[in-house]
């Protein structure tokens, strides 16, 4: 496969430290599925299997056929979560609709009724906004379903898998356009879908995953979790205001054209421009590959549920092939390998005794970056990049 794909071998000590604390089956599945995806990309290149019709940019996976696989897998992960939580969700609905006194929601950050009302009203506002701005009503519903499924599924990956770094593998707008064809959505709808890349594409950090981790930590609160909701609201408002001010400040000070193309100019509007010039039809091969990805994910999930010996966690299938994991897979392998050896020959006691060392790897990588951030602020120095992962 020489010349058909790239295998990155890098050392990131803080990533080794982070992944040492992952479940061994999750870490194993991430690097195994990344290598398998790399082999598949090389096989595609040898056989001349090119990319599918353009899905646009911003996807976390390099080959578009694998993007379809990941979308199908994420849908199964989302729907499987709904199925597993069906009894709890039914209880939430009963409490919200009839106020069933047998169901206690006093330990939640919101009452179930308030949560359902916010969900329904917020969704209606978003669908209405998209529709009034030019997107067909059915397309607005489909876009929000795809985005919601993707966000919930990736939140499960972060919360259950314990990932410290990652990105959703799919951009919902590109999947929607490919699935139904650009001509079906019309020019106003395509331009509007381009604007949705602000909150659906190149997502490296988003509120839902942060809230999921906060809710888990909130279980330690002894005086109720209702104040936690308002703390989240304040944090989101501050982050939104600060980030908006920062991007405007940078754009006016340095020129928006000089910022990163992904977040400033080229994507997604050049993608939409191409679709307006050369409209695309619904992509049947994309539907087939989404179905294939869903079937594989379903098989992995069933194997995980029914066979205790099964080594691969289904969370690794949609996330392992992402470009971030391309760069980090070797660090995952090292962390997994060392942890397996420690647990096998030293047991849980030895594992707990090694944890401070791997915490030190994390602090040793990140602490100097924080120190130089302060130094650069006061000295006016630029160019000391804090590496992301």
Checking if the pLDDT of 303 tops 90, the result is: yes
Q: What is the mean pLDDT of residues 152-179?
A: 83
CA angle centred on 140, ends 204 and 211, rounded to 5°: 35
pLDDT of residue 101: 83
The Cβ of residue 157 has, within 10 Å, a number of other Cβ atoms equal to 24
Q: What DSSP assignment string belongs to 132-173?
A: HHT--HHHHHHHHHHHHHHHHHHHHHHHHH--SS---S--HH
Q: What percent of the chain has pLDDT over 90?
A: 31
* Separation of alpha carbons 303 and 312, rounded Å: 9
Checking if the pLDDT of 168 tops 90, the result is: no
- Whether a cis peptide bond, with omega within 30° of 0, leads into 268 is yes
pLDDT of 221-245, one tens digit each? Answer: 767 778 888 888 999 999 989 988 9
pLDDT of 2-49, one tens digit each? Answer: 667 788 888 888 889 989 998 899 999 999 999 999 888 888 878 777
pLDDT of 283-300, one tens digit each? Answer: 888 889 899 999 999 999
**Residue carrying structure tokens 């040492």:** 20
Task: For residue 143, give both structure tokens.
Answer: 């876009």
Q: What DSSP assignment string belongs to 27-48?
A: HHHHHHHHHHHHHHHHHHHHHT
Q: What percent of the chain has pLDDT over 70?
A: 92
pLDDT of residue 216: 80
Cβ proximity of 71 and 175 under 8 Å: yes
Checking if the pLDDT of 166 tops 80, the result is: no
Q: What is the mean pLDDT of the chain?
A: 85
pLDDT of 320-350, one tens digit each? Answer: 888 888 888 999 999 999 999 999 999 989 9
pLDDT of residue 243: 87
pLDDT of residue 336: 94
Higher pLDDT, 164 or 7: 7
Checking if the pLDDT of 261 tops 70, the result is: no
**Backbone angles phi and psi of 300, in degrees to 5:** -65, -40
Higher pLDDT, 259 or 319: 319
Domain range annotation of the chain: 13-201+267-379
Q: Is 350 left (phi over 0), alpha (psi -120 to 50) or beta?
A: alpha
pLDDT of 129-149, one tens digit each? Answer: 999 998 999 999 999 999 999
pLDDT of residue 51: 64
Q: What DSSP assignment string belongs to 359-383?
A: HHHHHHHHHHHHHHHHHHHHHT---
Checking if the pLDDT of 388 tops 70, the result is: no
């Amino acid at each position: 496969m020489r010349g058909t794909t790239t295998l990155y071998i890098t050392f990131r000590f803080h990533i080794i430290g982070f992944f040492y604390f992952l479940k061994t089956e999750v870490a194993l599945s991430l690097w195994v599925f990344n290598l398998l995806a790399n082999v598949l990309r090389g096989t595609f290149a040898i056989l001349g299997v090119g990319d599918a019709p353009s899905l646009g940019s911003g996807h976390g996976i390099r080959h578009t056929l694998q993007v379809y696989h990941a979308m199908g897998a994420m849908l199964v992960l989302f729907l499987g979560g709904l199925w597993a939580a069906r009894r709890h969700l039914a209880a939430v609905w009963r409490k919200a609709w009839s106020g069933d006194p047998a169901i206690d929601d006093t330990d939640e950050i919101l009452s179930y009724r308030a949560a359902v009302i916010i969900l329904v009203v917020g969704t209606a506002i978003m669908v209405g906004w998209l529709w009034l701005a030019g997107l067909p009503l059915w397309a607005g519903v489909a876009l929000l379903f795809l985005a919601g499924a993707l966000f919930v599924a990736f939140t499960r990956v972060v919360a259950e898998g314990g990932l410290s770094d990652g990105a959703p593998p799919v951009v919902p707008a590109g999947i929607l356009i490919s699935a139904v064809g650009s001509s079906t959505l019309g020019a106003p709808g395509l331009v509007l879908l381009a604007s949705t890349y602000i909150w659906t594409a190149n997502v490296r950090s988003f509120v839902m995953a942060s809230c999921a981790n906060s809710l888990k930590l909130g279980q330690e609160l002894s005086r109720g979790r209702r104040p936690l909701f308002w703390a989240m609201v304040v944090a989101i408002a501050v982050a939104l205001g600060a980030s908006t001010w920062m991007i405007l400040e940078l754009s006016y000070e340095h020129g928006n054209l000089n910022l990163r193309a992904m977040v400033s100019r080229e994507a997604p509007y050049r993608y939409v421009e191409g679709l307006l010039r050369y409209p695309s039809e619904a992509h049947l091969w994309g539907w087939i590959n989404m179905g294939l990805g869903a079937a594989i994910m379903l098989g992995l999930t069933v194997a995980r549920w029914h066979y205790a010996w099964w080594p691969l966690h289904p969370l690794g299938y949609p996330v392992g092939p992402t470009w971030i994991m391309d760069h980090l897979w070797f660090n995952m392998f090292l962390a997994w390998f060392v942890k397996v050896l420690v647990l096998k020959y030293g047991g849980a006691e030895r594992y707990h005794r090694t944890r401070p060392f791997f915490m030190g790897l994390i602090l040793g990588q990140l602490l100097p970056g924080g120190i130089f951030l302060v130094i650069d602020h006061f000295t006016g120095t630029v160019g000391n990049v804090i590496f992301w992962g």
